[in-house]
Amino acid sequence: MDTTITSALPSASTLDLGVGGMTCASCVSRVERALKKVPGVQDATVNLATESARVVFAPSDDAEARIRRAVRNAGYEPRAVEAAATEDLSPWAGFGPVAAGAVLSLPLLLPMLGGMHAALPAWLQFLLATPVQFLLGARFYRAGWHALKAGSGNMDLLVAIGTSAGWTLSMWLWLARGQQHLYFEASAVVITLVLLGKWLEARAKRQTTAAIRALQSLRPETAHVLQRDGSEADLPLAEVLAGDRLAVRAGERVPADGVIEQGETQVDESMLTGEPLPVAKGVGARLTGGSINGEGRVVLQATAVGSESVLAHIIRLVEDAQAAKAPIQRLVDQVAAVFVPVVLAIAAITLAGWLLTGSGIEVALVHAVAVLVIACPCALGLATPAAIMAGTGVAARQGILVKDAQALELAHRVDTVAFDKTGTLTVGQPRLVAFVAAPGVDEATALAAAASVQSGSEHPLARAVVAAAQERGLSVVAADAVRAVPGRGTEADDYLIGSLRWMQELGVSLEPVRDEVDRLQGEGATLSALVQRVTDGLALRALLAFADEPKAGAAEALAALRARGLRLVLISGDNRAAALVMGRRLGLAPEEIQAEVLPGDKSARVAALRAGGHVVAMVGDGVNDAPALAAADVGIAMGTGTDVAMHAAGITLMRGDVGLVEGALDISRRTVHKIRQNLFWAFAYNVAGIPLAALGYLSPVVAGAAMAASSVSVLTNALLLKRWSLRHSPPARG
């Protein structure tokens, strides 16, 4: 199947479709126009680097057929996106036509290169050049004809017209005038050079898509499924179901996401998270499909398979980012829409101008051909997508997933970074460090009651309470009618447990434990209170104090961000005293800390930070961070957090390393820099090359070589991003 149908909007589906035959930015523009004219199509984005289209459309019985027909009618071949994965990826794939062109063209060029005045006989020039022109160059005629039928032009049309003019001029000079000095070599060499350029371009394109292929190769083909009798049955991965028990032997890739039931091992997760060191895993630990098992055999229960797995989610994120069109591409689209007609007009003016100067048809036509040949919309079409693909690909290998091109383009402009605290800057596994029973209250009874209320919650503080009760051997029975109160705590029929702010709102007096409140807050603990419903209201039963630890390297990561000139802000729901203590441990100043912020108010705080034109990144990991992530210019979610946070964010960090935040901003800066470099040189090349050709300073052969080099240089420049790594990221920027 070549479709990926997802629910983009209630009335919209998405189709990913390969588009064969595209050669330049003009092709991209024409395919997009054709797709957007299809009834029901809401949006269409075409990527030259991947030769694919992503179409958002209203579902109907014949919608996909109409979309494919529109691509074909525009002169291109609709195909499965998976077709690229089956292409020959060897270094010399597709080199045959280039080699044939070189063999036939070189004899035509040797007299010129060797300074020989005597050219080859005209009949021999004709025999060598004609197969190059009409057999090897047939692709240019086909694509150019399709462009003409669609009422537009492309690079192939320019090459076809230019080389045909040179070949026709040579035939006329030979047959009508009997000349031996002809221009067959120009047409043949131009076609050969363009073919060489397209071959080099295809090789470079394959390198830009290497990240996707590497991720897709992580999926093993089979899984060892344990049967009821304990035997193993090797089944195709597509037949594995959630709930199956799978055996993973030493050195094998984990076939699906799951939880270890038996065994211990070390797991290499570097391709998924960028973490270079193996991670110890035992019973109860989660495994991610695609990671590599170490020396131990383990048995896991599959929890997510196929499109629901973490690996599939990562691949979708990378594909989405590489399929998206960056906002900076709009200028290219506007130029591409008029590029070929303008070049044809300039070539006509060049022809007329040289004729008017009395230079003769031969000289005038050669200069007009040079104009047609040197014009290169290919470089313009590849400048942005090649850089985005290279940047997002290398970022993914380092554990940084970019959701879309807009987030990538915005991130380099960030001047303010706001952080959630728990699970983002801290380990996120708080411990119950103090449990203070109110006067006259039995401590064990109160702790058991608190654990019962919290037993059904996944909140880190709730897990800490339950763990503390279990460590003391207390019986924990789930309370009845438990209800979470967002941003405040949890209540049941008999008890409530939550923040001191909530207790104050409820009118609960904390005077019986006031001294302990002041002492523990001064030590930086996060405080909660347990109260019980009684006849005349609510009675305080206990004070709970929690402590968390900063993540390893978090303080250094924040210092590195500050060294880049970024403003840092910690937004926490903790009381101010606790937030200040943790802030000091992280190297944050008091003015950089916003405490006692309810989850629902975080997005408002982010909006306030954006006031005055500031570009704000929000870093978080929890469900209550999702609105703030969405409210920021760039949301950055810790992949160790929740799916909700990851969906709301433009960038996902696949491991809980705060240092990846700096890496995300740096790869954005470098990618945007490459895009701007590519666009500058692509525009500069055409702005300089076309006038030089029109004025007679460039021969068609030199023009052909320059055109081939322009696309390759743009792709090569983009591929320099593949050398980027977190370890070589510069520590500071002014």
> Which of the residues are catalytic?
420
Residues 6+ apart with CB under 8 A from 683: 335, 380
Q: Are 713 and 681 in contact (CB under 8 A)?
A: yes
Token output for 415: 């001047």
Token output for 648: 């709301």
Q: Residue 613: how many CB atoms within 10 A of its CB?
A: 6
Residues 6+ apart with CB under 8 A from 475: 448
Helical packing angle, 25-36 and 330-356, nearest 10°: 120
Strand stretches in 215-297, DSSP E: 222-226, 232-236, 245-248, 257-262, 265-268, 279-281, 286-287, 292-293
Dist. CA 189–CA 564, nearest whole Å: 51
Alpha carbon dihedral 387, 389, 392, 396, in 10-degree steps, equals -140
User: For 255, which DSSP code?
Assistant: -
Dist. CA 498–CA 482, nearest whole Å: 13
Dist. CA 16–CA 23, nearest whole Å: 19
Pairing of strands 257-262, 298-304: antiparallel
> Distance between alpha carbon 512 and the CA centroid of its chain, in Å?
55
Q: How many residues does the chain have?
A: 734
Run of H or E residues at 265: strand 265-268
Dist. CA 495–CA 528, nearest whole Å: 13
Q: Are 355 and 364 in contact (CB under 8 A)?
A: yes
Run of H or E residues at 85: none
Using the CB atoms, write b or e for 691-725: b if 16+ within 10 Å.
ebbbeeebbbbbbbbbbbbbbbbbbebbbebbebe
Q: Are 188 and 128 in contact (CB under 8 A)?
A: yes
Token output for 266: 């070390």
- The H-assigned helical ranges of 137-180 are 138-149, 155-177
- State the greatest distance between any 2 C-alpha atoms of the chain, in Å, as a whole number: 119
Dist. CA 327–CA 349, nearest whole Å: 34
